[in-house]
C-alpha cells in the first residue's frame, strides 16, 4: 500500500487499504499489542502472549480478528 502510494499510484494504494480495512479495524478492538500479537501468532509468527497486566483477547474479539484474517490476503513470508 505504501509502496504504491509513494510510486504515485494512489488508486492502487486505496484499493489495498480498502481490502485491508477489516483487518486494521480488528487490530484496534482491544489495547495494543493484544490483538496484534494474537493475529501474528495465528498467521505463523511465534511472538508469544502479551505480558501482564495485558492478556489475550476474549473469545468474541478473537473471533472477529480470526474473521478479518480469513478475508485478508497476508503476503508476508512466515519463517
In this prediction, residue 74 has a pLDDT band, given cuts at 50, 70 and 90, of: confident
What pLDDT does 31 receive? 85
pLDDT for 75: 74
**Whole-prediction pTM value?**
0.79
Predicted confidence (pLDDT) per residue in 32-50, tens digit: 899 999 999 999 899 999 9
| Average pLDDT estimate for 15-22 | 92
At residue 59, what are phi and psi to the nearest 5 degrees? -60, -40
The continuous run of DSSP H or E covering 71 comes out as helix 59-71
* Reported confidence tier of residue 26, pLDDT bands at 50, 70, 90: very high
Amino acid at each position: 500500500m505504501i509502496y504504491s502510494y509513494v510510486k504515485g499510484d494512489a488508486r492502487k494504494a486505496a484499493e489495498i487499504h480498502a481490502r485491508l480495512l477489516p483487518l486494521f479495524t480488528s487490530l484496534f478492538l482491544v489495547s495494543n499489542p493484544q490483538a496484534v500479537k494474537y493475529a501474528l501468532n495465528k498467521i505463523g509468527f511465534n511472538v508469544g502472549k502479551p505480558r501482564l497486566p495485558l492478556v489475550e483477547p476474549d473469545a468474541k474479539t478473537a473471533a472477529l480478528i480470526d474473521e478479518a484474517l480469513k478475508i485478508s490476503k497476508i503476503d508476508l513470508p512466515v519463517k
